[in-house]
Structure 1
């Protein structure tokens, strides 16, 4: 039984301070300069405020859930500035309606590995697990505060929890927060739509720390944020449709990545209508990246799979500045397969089409002799791949790409 239900049925009163509000304006975030694929529904004004008490070092989850219970349906749940809150219990916040979580203080998740592995929320995708799940209708999270995942204690442990789980949210804004030390990805955006992420500060290198992973979600905006992490800055997983990414500063990552797709035989993976605009990428393995598995079985880097089907379509990367990246642009239909003969014999069942990469500038790390890699399993697998205004150089001055079964105009192939 979830804690929220226990509170609702037990009559437990922890003394959340409730204040009635008048003349409130609904919280909003301007999206720009590129517009979202569809308008983001407006929030409604909130009419009451509930201040979360702190247990002074104990588990504050009951205090948080009591405040949420009191202010759900038109209120603001406020975490006081300067106060440190501790969360030691998995929180199901999946049925919120018209509520703001105003995080002015700091929320730290406990280091109880055994508890979280047993009670964290499982999401049936790549062993994804979250500390909490936030969902419902018209939910905003903001305030300038911090979420700390205590990621250092998770080294060598698996599965590891994702710091922020947006699960089944229909309309929302997540803004002005610091996220640090996530044990796994910083954000999982699953089964959600019409959500804006803006003005976030992300830091942590505890393994597979993607900034965002979008999965089975539509009309998502990720903008105006700084990310210093150890894996993909943003990764578009299967079912990512109508996603806008703009104004990001990424460091230490694996790039802005589509995929990987086609890993699981019998599954159809679709990613389409993606706009990535005005992104800076430094000290990273890649800038822009599209990766699909071959039609056969491949393995590498602790991963294995291949044989799934699907498509990547209508993807634009525009105005990307790179510095000390190993590969400015990488497109591959042979992810985790180094033997091109095997890849050609079992070409990817995930097609890549209508891709535009334009307005790239900067320098690579020099780790590779080329500035990018374009690898298609067959000429038929990649269609209408356009590269324009690519002004990226290796330290020695080369602007050449490594090319297989694809030779787009506008770049030279080594």
Structure 2
């Protein structure tokens, strides 16, 4: 009898999950303080975000279990907004968050029509696992103000955009965050796989695959002068991107990049430059001499290896006030040479 009662109780607990098929049901479930919300085949109205931030109790589990779609509107988005503490965000097998980005893509990216970013995340002490984002109109995941958050088994699939006019579809943009881990994930897109920006500490980008885009980027001085520290990019593959890995600081910017490590990163068929470290970045490309007010310290390049296509460049370095670097790379194949300027004394880099 005890076993039967326990089983019945378990069935009741499972049945109490709120299955959500529209925005109205979602709002009702949040007001009812449901702690297990299952999203199924929701059509989000044009110009609205799928709101997963207000009225969510700590400890809530949100499961994506169907196809989530969005009405068309030229706006900034995001299509999905996730915010809270102690949340568990889960993508179930067969689900898709379908941005249907082809409705916005115009070959111009941010310079064209307004396009919504896909998923904005501001979480603490939470986990995001197994989400499948397909054809984001613009940025994929905007990770902002997060603390102690794990992202695992994420798939950002924008490969349709290679032939349908997508640009500026960054996979993960991370800013103002602490102790964030992005692991065992895959990005196929038309911009940075990872764009790590100012005011970040202890960011881990481990065992991820980046395909088709602009590589893995650490960007100092973009938006504010707060430093980027203790960043670890390990065990990743960068396949058929135009850039492999890069650390770039804004020309005229202020701040510091300190303690960035690239370890065991494989580059395959990079079309332009394998490793880029520059201190004179502008959105239009490197311009003039680095100003040196945003130096790169304690940079580690270890076991970064692979190939650049013919007419590409293996390494490009143009920095000022850099110090305490360690360098071990084996990037080959590029025939276009660029000078190395500002390499710390005693370090040998083949440019």
TM-score in same-fold range (> 0.5)? yes
- Alignment match, 1:165: 120
- Alignment match, 1:256: 216
Aligned-pair CA distance for 1:171: 1.5
RMSD: 2.6
Q: Aligned pair 1:241/2:196, yes or no?
A: no
Q: Aligned pair 1:51/2:12, yes or no?
A: no
- List per-residue Cα deviations over 1:320-379 (Å, max 9, x = no partner): 111111222110001138787x425xx1321110000111121112232x3011111x3x
- Structure having the larger proportion of residues in strand: 1
Q: What's the TM-score once normalised by structure 2's chain length?
A: 0.85
Q: Aligned pair 1:314/2:314, yes or no?
A: no
Q: Aligned pair 1:209/2:173, yes or no?
A: no
Whether contact under 8 Å (1:327, 1:372) holds in the other structure is yes
Whether contact under 8 Å (2:82, 2:121) holds in the other structure is yes
Could you tell me how far apart the structure 2 residues matched to 1:406 and 1:171 are?
39
Could you tell me how far apart the structure 2 residues matched to 1:281 and 1:339 are?
22
Whether contact under 8 Å (1:149, 1:181) holds in the other structure is yes
Larger mean CA deviation between 235-244 and 148-157 belongs to 148-157
- List per-residue Cα deviations over 1:175-220 (Å, max 9, x = no partner): 1121111111100111111111111111113211111111111110
Q: What's the TM-score once normalised by structure 1's chain length?
A: 0.72
Aligned-pair CA distance for 1:46: 9.4
Could you tell me how far apart the structure 1 residues matched to 2:9 and 2:113 are?
45
Instruction: Decide which of 241, 263, 266 is 1:284's aligned counterpart.
Output: 241
Q: Which runs of 5+ in 1 are unaligned?
A: 1-19, 25-44, 55-59, 121-128, 296-307
Q: Does the residue aligned with 2:53 lie in a helix, a strand or coil?
A: strand
Whether contact under 8 Å (2:325, 2:347) holds in the other structure is no
How does 1:315-394 map onto structure 2 within 5 Å? Answer: 315-325=260-270, 326-336=272-282, 342-343=288-289, 347-368=291-312, 370-376=313-319, 378=320, 381-388=321-328, 390-394=329-333
- Alignment match, 2:150: 196
Could you tell me how far apart the structure 2 residues matched to 1:409 and 1:87 are?
57
Q: Does the residue aligned with 1:68 lie in a helix, a strand or coil?
A: helix
Q: Does the residue aligned with 2:150 lie in a helix, a strand or coil?
A: strand
Could you tell me how far apart the structure 1 residues matched to 2:256 and 2:15 are?
45
**How many corresponding residue pairs?**
325
Instruction: Decide which of 268, 293, 303 is 2:225's aligned counterpart.
Output: 268
Instruction: Decide which of 121, 134, 137 is 2:82's aligned counterpart.
Output: 134
Whether contact under 8 Å (2:197, 2:222) holds in the other structure is no
Aligned-pair CA distance for 1:409: 5.6
- List per-residue Cα deviations over 1:12-68 (Å, max 9, x = no partner): xxxxxxxx97499xxxxxxxxxxxxxxxxxxxx99941111x3xxxxx221222233
- Alignment match, 2:49: 90
Q: Does the residue aligned with 1:384 lie in a helix, a strand or coil?
A: coil
Change (3 A) 1:412 1:238: closer
Q: Does the residue aligned with 1:309 lie in a helix, a strand or coil?
A: coil
Whether contact under 8 Å (2:317, 2:339) holds in the other structure is yes
- Alignment match, 1:303: none
Q: Does the residue aligned with 2:281 lie in a helix, a strand or coil?
A: coil
Could you tell me how far apart the structure 2 residues matched to 1:395 and 1:224 are?
29
Q: Does the residue aligned with 2:87 lie in a helix, a strand or coil?
A: strand
- Alignment match, 1:79: 39
- Alignment match, 2:137: 183
Aligned-pair CA distance for 1:401: 6.4
Aligned-pair CA distance for 1:256: 1.2
- Alignment match, 1:108: 69
Aligned-pair CA distance for 1:92: 3.4
Could you tell me how far apart the structure 2 residues matched to 1:339 and 1:245 are?
26
How does 1:58-77 map onto structure 2 within 5 Å? Answer: 60-72=22-34, 75-77=35-37
- Alignment match, 2:3: none
Change (3 A) 1:392 1:46: farther
